[in-house]
Amino acid sequence: MKSKIIRYITAVAIALASVCMSAPLQAGPLMVKARLDSVSVLMGRLTTLHLEVVEDAGSHGGFELLEAARQQGRPYATVCGDSIELRTSFATDTVDLGSGRIQINYAVPVQAFDSGSYRLPELLYRAGADSVRSNQVSLRVVPVNVTAEDPIAGYASVAKPEGKSIFDNVPDWLYNYWWLIIILLLAIGFGIWMLTRPKQKGLIPTRKKPAPTPYEVAMTRLKALKSRKLWEQGMEKEYFTELTDILRVYLDKRFGINAMEMTSRQIMDMLRSNPVIKDKREYMRRILDMADFVKFAKVRPLPADNISAYDNAVSFVEETHSLGAGPSEVGDLAAPVGDSMSMKSVGKDIAKPETSAPSVPPRQKGGES
């Protein structure tokens, strides 16, 4: 009986010992604790955030915020609205707690550039399927009171910009409005090209301005002669010389009669033999007779004679320009009605004295211009 009791007690002791030995091997809870070296720090200075992680040996975990910054290639992670930076260049230390448990100590540099009081958020630590958040810690950032005379010392050097690019040295106005600048340059270049290009090679061909017809040239010269008022200044010879020159050029360009090389008689003979304008030769006869008297006989005509000669010239040009086409006629022979009326008015706006014929002696035969 005693032996049975002893065996029973021994079996119970062995079972209890097995339970006691197997208990430490079970997985323990995941724990994270956060604390700061100092709850107050001068703006721009560094302090250290200590994160103590207790987990089972063999677990592989990390803080999601810091790991994400590392994967993105950033040297820090920001919290509290980008006012506080947690550097990813932190140090770690692992301590074996025994019974399959370890403690990992993180020393994360913290730097703040805005003064004020902040409460750092809970940091999520994930190890496999387990996750846990740290406690929150408070940090007060004290502003730096400096004057222009105070030396700057004890601060970190200026850090190089992240993701440095060749566009960092480009002015902001050029970087923001480069498209507008390109449009302006193209517009200026197009304008310069339009001003300097050969006109005959333009995008839109321009119609070449037609040369004035003999009729237009003659009427323009007659109007200019009238405006000079030569005979009113006692320059009758110059007046009749230019008047006959205008008609000689008109006959040459309009009808192919080389009147510039002909005498007055020869001109009249050519007009008489020309079936197109022989009916209008009386205008020319009156003008040439008066011009010969003034140039060769030194006769000084009356004002009415000067006006009559001008009117005869206008009438001759007006009444012959639309007759049969001459060999060197340029453009349309028939002028618009409005132009014809305006040209006729050139010699009609001077009031004629009441006289029916020029008061000059008869022309001597054989007179030449």
Residues 212 and 221: beta-carbon distance below 8 Å: no
The token duo for 81 is 């609205």
The number of beta carbons lying within 10 Å of the beta carbon of residue 128 is: 12
Query: What's at 226, amino acid-wise?
Result: K
pLDDT at 289 over 70: yes
Burial class (CB within 10 angstroms; exposed 0-12, middle 13-18, buried 19+) of 299:
middle
Instruction: Kindly tell me the sign of the dihedral angle through the C-alpha atoms of 227, 228, 230, 232.
Output: positive
pLDDT per residue over 233-275, tens digit each? Answer: 989 889 999 999 999 999 999 988 898 889 999 999 998 998 8
pLDDT in tens, 144-183: 877 777 776 666 666 666 667 777 778 888 888 889 999 9
Question: Minimum mean pLDDT among 63-67, 79-83, 221-225, 347-351: which range?
Answer: 347-351
Q: Is pLDDT at 7 greater than 80 in this prediction?
A: no
Kindly list the domain boundaries of the chain, sorted by start residue. Answer: 31-142, 214-344
Q: What's residue 360's pLDDT?
A: 40
Lowest mean pLDDT among 76-80, 103-107, 347-351: 347-351
Q: Which CATH number is associated with domain 31-142? A: 2.60.40.10
pLDDT, the chain, mean: 79
Element housing 96 (H / E): strand 91-98
User: Sign of torsion, CA 178 182 184 188?
Assistant: positive
The answer to whether 305 touches 359, Cβ cutoff 8 Å, is yes
Give Cα 277 distance to the centre of its chain: 63
pLDDT tier, 32 (very low <50, low <70, confident <90, very high otherwise)? very high
Closest CA to 193 of 183, 202, 206: 202
Q: Is the pLDDT of residue 363 over 50?
A: no
In degrees, rounded to 5, the angle at the alpha carbon of residue 177 between the alpha carbons of residues 173 and 179 is 150
- In tens, the pLDDT along 48-95 reads 999 999 988 888 889 998 889 888 888 889 998 888 998 888 889 989
347/224 Cα distance (integer angstroms):
11
Q: What is the pLDDT at residue 369?
A: 35
Tell me the percentage of the chain whose pLDDT exceeds 90: 30
Q: Do residues 269 and 368 touch, judged by C-beta distance below 8 A?
A: no
Q: pLDDT-derived band of residue 224, with 50, 70 and 90 as boundaries?
A: very high
Cβ neighbours for 240, distance < 8 A, ≥ 6 positions apart? 290, 291, 294, 295, 309
Instruction: Report the side by side order of strands in the sheet with 61-63.
Output: 61-63, 124-127, 130-133
Long-range pairs of 57-60 with CB within 8 A, sequence gap ≥ 24: 57/96, 57/100, 57/101, 57/102, 59/30, 59/127, 59/128, 59/130, 60/127, 60/128
Dig out the tokens for 299 from the structure: 């006769």
